């Protein structure tokens, strides 16, 4: 009887793990963790650590609460070339240098296309230096988390 119960529990645990793996909930992710979205910051490691992103995950861009020099805009660049060269023609402003104050603002990754994020302040100085920019590539929610 004990063996039956253990076996039953084992099957139950297996089913729960399978269910969680297949039906993962979209995440809400604070960009840059506690330091938020700020000027002169390298987000490459953060982006790697938080990958893979999944469809319908939400990114929260939150600016540093008590610093006007570090707060900056967020643009969505149209493609990888514009991301690399910091060509902002055709870029879409997602949030200006004050819209991320307080609780920040949200961007839902609801398209299966790469999202190229960068800031434009200082004549694109950070972008050209490889700072305050990152790519998020959402994948479908099936498969591993």
* Residue number closest to ligand NAG, CB atom: 65
Q: How far is the CB of 6 from ligand NAG (least distance, A)?
A: 35
Question: By CB under 6 A, is residue 141 in contact with ligand NAG?
Answer: yes
Among 18, 44, 79, 145, binds ligand NAG (CB under 6 A): 44
Q: How far is the CB of 30 from ligand NAG (least distance, A)?
A: 13
Q: How far is the CB of 40 from ligand NAG (least distance, A)?
A: 10
**Cα–Cα distance between 37 and 51 in angstroms, integer?**
17
**Cα–Cα distance between 139 and 116 in angstroms, integer?**
15
**Choices 2-10, 80-88, 95-103, 117-125; region in contact with ligand NAG by CB under 6 A:** 95-103
**DSSP three-state, residue 77:** strand
Report yes or no: 90 and 74 within 8 Å, Cβ to Cβ.
Answer: no
Question: By CB under 6 A, is residue 98 in contact with ligand NAG?
Answer: yes
Q: How far is the CB of 3 from ligand NAG (least distance, A)?
A: 39
Tokens for 75, please give them.
């643009």
Nearest to 97 by CA among 126, 75, 125: 75
Q: How far is CA 43 from the centre of its chain?
A: 10
Question: By CB under 6 A, is residue 99 in contact with ligand NAG?
Answer: yes
Question: By CB under 6 A, is residue 66 in contact with ligand NAG?
Answer: yes
Report yes or no: 118 and 86 within 8 Å, Cβ to Cβ.
Answer: yes
**DSSP three-state, residue 75:** strand
Tell me which residues touch ligand NAG (CB under 6 A).
42, 44-45, 55-56, 64-66, 96-99, 110, 129-131, 141
């Amino acid at each position: 009887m004990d063996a039956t119960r253990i076996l039953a529990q084992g099957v139950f645990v297996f089913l729960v793990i399978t269910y969680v793996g297949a039906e993962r909930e979209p995440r809400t992710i604070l960009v840059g963790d506690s330091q938020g979205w700020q000027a002169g910051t390298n987000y490459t490691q953060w982006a790697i650590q938080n990958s893979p992103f999944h469809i319908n995950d939400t990114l929260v861009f939150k600016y540093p609460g008590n610093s006007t020099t570090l707060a900056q805009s967020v643009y969505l660049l149209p493609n990888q070339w514009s991301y690399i060269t910091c060509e902002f023609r055709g870029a879409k402003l997602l949030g200006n240098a004050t819209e991320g104050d307080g609780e920040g603002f949200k961007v839902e990754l609801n398209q299966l296309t790469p999202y190229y994020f960068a800031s434009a302040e200082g004549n694109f100085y950070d972008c050209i230096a490889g700072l305050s920019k990152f790519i998020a590539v959402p994948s479908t929610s099936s498969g591993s988390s």
